[in-house]
Amino acid sequence: MIKKNLFRLSWHFWRRSQCRNYCSTADAHVGIVGSGPAAFYTAQQLLKGCQNLKVDIYEQLPVPFGLVRYGVAPDHPEVKNVINTFSKVVNNDRCSFVGNVSVGKDVSLAQLKEAYTAVVLAYGANSERCLNIQGENLPNVISARNFVGWYNGLPENQNLELNLDVEDVAIVGHGNVALDIARILLTPLELLKKTDITEKAIKALSSSKVQRVHLIGRRGPLQVAFTIKEFREMTRLPKSRPVLDPDDFKHLADYLEDLPRPRRRLTELLYNTAVKPLEKDQKMWADATRTWHLHFLRSPVEILSEGLSIKGLRLVKNKLEGPIKNNPKAVSTHETIDLSCGMILTSIGYKGVKIDPDLPFDHNKGVVANENGRVIGVPGLYCTGWVSRGPLGVILNTMTDGIDTGKLILKDLKDNRLEVNKPGKDVIIKKLKEAGVQTVSFDDWKKIDSAEILKGESAGKPREKMVDISEMLNLVTKETS
């Protein structure tokens, strides 16, 4: 017991010495732009790594948590449990949340840099990539980002115009977001009503005529971007069954042994679903009234229409060039086929945006110009998460990004590369008040949170999200006065 206690004491002092080695004796203030996973994991690492450091998290919306709140599918509540961890971070006395502040508009990047020892850009990928084909601007051609924001209650997407009075929907993309959208379109309404999907979305989906969802990918089964958990969930979707062409999968048996384990498990599930499904699965699918289809080696080249009404999607057949297991390239064969559909959702990737004129930005990649997290040519400015490396990976990948960025800033503090004794949020809050900007604290968010949960209880839901920013701000003002 004595040895164990001595070990713990030694470990405690060693950890404290590490903090002292990383930090200046002077106070350091770090401002973080964005309040999603990348922001919170960066803040968590900074607060753990230095006892003298303070962190302020700025968010454009009045509410925190970014894509955890507005991107995670409503029927995946377990993924949102990470909010509990984030809440512990911001409840630290050395951390604060400043919501309803648009960096680049309400406050400039130059003003933040002047107020903070370091500024971290962690605002994600707020735009989407385009198909760049004829008909893309027609009604009922909708980006995945906007559709997900619509059913998840993102205020900017609540006026989205969509027509679900169609039997066939085409989704361009083979990633997890594409599967999320397909699942939301096909899930029985009585199941969705128990989630935090918005009441507006429930009302629209209740009159949906969608019977078939087509997921279109430019490459083959070995290159799909979705994960095994999401695909398995689709195969077990009540009242729906998969439609996969066995010819797309028969050759996969030749490659299974050489694949990395995660890819092998996914490929085996794809193969078995298409070629030799289990008897229990066949029984489950027997009473299906809806179907979902995986289409491979297809790329959209034109949206077919009559007037403003979508009639279909013209697809070009592709072939793969290069080793099939080593990221082969999809090459057009110029042979086309037409897929009948009345709605098209594009899930081909997000991209970051330039939020401030002074921000070095790589427009081709849609990311802040950086070298390993340090923004090029701007000392004291960092970036992390999707705005740093592009929209790849899941929350676990973003956690790694945040931790690495936090360690990088701590190292730069240790090496005296950063200026300390900056004023932090006080000077920024003063400027915002002078400009008439109403800020939202984390305590204010708790009032919004409580109101949403209370409203959800009456409907048998975890919460009913507020979808209007004015309503959020009015609630905060009313509760405060």
| pLDDT of amino acid 383 | 97
Q: pLDDT confidence of 26, banded at 50, 70, 90? A: low
| pLDDT of amino acid 21 | 44
266 pLDDT more than 50: yes
pLDDT in tens, 237-256: 999 999 999 999 988 888 88
| pLDDT of amino acid 350 | 87
pLDDT in tens, 51-80: 999 999 999 999 999 999 999 999 999 999
4 pLDDT more than 70: no
Task: Give the structural domain span for 284.
Answer: 130-348
Q: Which residue has the higher pLDDT, 128 or 77?
A: 77
Compute φ and ψ for 371, nearest 5 degrees. Answer: -120, 105
Considering the domain architecture, whether residues 136 and 261 belong to the same structural domain is answered as yes
| pLDDT of amino acid 327 | 83
Residue 189 near residue 205 (C-beta atoms within 8 A) = yes
pLDDT in tens, 305-324: 999 999 999 999 999 998 87
Last-in-domain residue among 348, 365, 384: 348
* Mean pLDDT in residue range 382-393: 90
Residue 345 near residue 136 (C-beta atoms within 8 A) = no
Considering the domain architecture, whether residues 329 and 382 belong to the same structural domain is answered as no
CA of 48: how far to CAs of 181, 312, 385, 406, 428, in Å? 38, 54, 19, 9, 25
Q: Which residue has the higher pLDDT, 246 or 27?
A: 246
pLDDT in tens, 440-462: 999 999 999 999 999 999 899 99
Residue 145 near residue 68 (C-beta atoms within 8 A) = no
SS3 224: coil
Last-in-domain residue among 348, 377, 407: 348
Q: Is residue 479 part of a domain?
A: no
Number of domains in the chain: 2
| pLDDT of amino acid 453 | 97
SS3 188: coil
What is the domain-level CATH number for residue 117? 3.40.50.720
Strands 168-172 and 212-216: parallel
Considering the domain architecture, whether residues 239 and 327 belong to the same structural domain is answered as yes
Q: For the chain, give the percent of residues with pLDDT over 90.
A: 85
What is 396-409 written as a DSSP string?
HHHHHHHHHHHHHH
Considering the domain architecture, whether residues 342 and 355 belong to the same structural domain is answered as no
Considering the domain architecture, whether residues 175 and 307 belong to the same structural domain is answered as yes
What is the domain-level CATH number for residue 235? 3.50.50.60
Residue 18: how many other CB atoms lie within 10 Å:
15
Q: Is residue 187 part of a domain?
A: yes
Q: Is residue 471 part of a domain?
A: no
Considering the domain architecture, whether residues 218 and 74 belong to the same structural domain is answered as no
Last-in-domain residue among 348, 363, 398: 348
| pLDDT of amino acid 196 | 97
